[in-house]
Amino acid sequence: MRLRAKKVFAKIWGTEKLLTSIDGIAISQPPEKEGGDFRQEKQDWLHLDQGAQREGLHAYQGAIYLEEQTKEDYCFRVLAKSHKYHSELFEKFPAGIDKTARLEFYKLNATQKKFYNNKGAELTYVPVPKGGIVLWDSRTVHDNCPPVQERPDPKRWRFVVFVSMTPAHWASEDDIRFKKETYKNMNLTTHWSSQGLKSFKPFKPNKRKLGTDEISIQKLPEEGISKEAKQLAGMESYDYDDGEPNGPDPPKWRKTEGTQKKTKE
């Protein structure tokens, strides 16, 4: 899936020399199936995935849809043009600076939502066709919402693969070492692919409690050990002196301490 998405990110960044995230997937069954939760008015979990320490554009997050998602289904949403006010948000609400230095996921409170509303950043639904990919600047406030009751296709599930790629030359030697360890251990990561990397330990459920086996994969498929896949994962290096474009200069940081760590699920 990531190999097929590479051409999209290559066009955006102007280079084929990219590193990829190894994000998770999202699977949600129809709420009609087991009496799940339907969409409620004014219900949201609007959030950011880029902390205050990152200045300007650092990544485009991506989601590949293996099933169509209309406005009535599990629909992706953004506060349109909210990326323009990322720095201003943390200037106005400085408590978020330290918080996002520890964990970049940042859920908005009511006052912060009003801040964006006053800027004209409207909540916008983004339907995606089956096989489509949606990209957003990582400074964009976003979320997704459950289906509405009595939707046209009550049997439709949510199947999404998350992916993000950034220029490989942004990564330091420490970043590359981190990516190699992550690849060897087959761990999942956040959407950051070149800088400020974080990985997740494999999910090991309590079998007696959950009645399930470990769901982490034990062996990479053939596609995952190809040269192109290994280059995207940081296992094999690119030739930056071959005359082909390497992409834009690395983005700016306000602070860099403690940008790499392993987290728990």
Q: What is the pLDDT of residues 47-76, one digit of tens each?
A: 999 999 999 999 999 999 999 999 999 999
pLDDT in tens, 1-14: 899 999 999 999 99
- H/E stretch holding 4 reads helix 2-13
DSSP-derived secondary structure for 199-216: EEPPP---HHHH-----S
Report residue 172's pLDDT band, with 50, 70 and 90 as the boundaries: very high
Please list, residue by residue across 39-54, b when 16 or more beta carbons sit within 10 angstroms of its beta carbon and e when fewer do. beeeebebebbbbbbb
Residue-range domain boundaries for the chain: 24-163, 166-263
At 14, is the secondary structure helix, strand, or coil? Answer: coil
CA 81 to chain centre: 18
Query: Taking Cα atoms as reference points, which of 131, 128, 133 lies closest to residue 9?
Result: 133
- pLDDT band per the 50, 70, 90 thresholds, residue 215: low
Q: Residue 5 half-sphere exposure, CB side, CA atoms within 13 Å? A: 26
What number of other Cβ atoms are within 10 A of residue 101's Cβ? Answer: 16
pLDDT digits (tens, 9 = 90+) for 119-167: 999 999 999 999 999 999 999 999 999 999 999 999 999 999 999 999 9
Yes or no: domain 24-163 corresponds to CATH 2.60.120.620 = yes
pLDDT tens, residue by residue, 77-87: 999 999 999 99
The confidence score (pLDDT) of residue 72 equals: 97
Residue 155: its H or E element: none
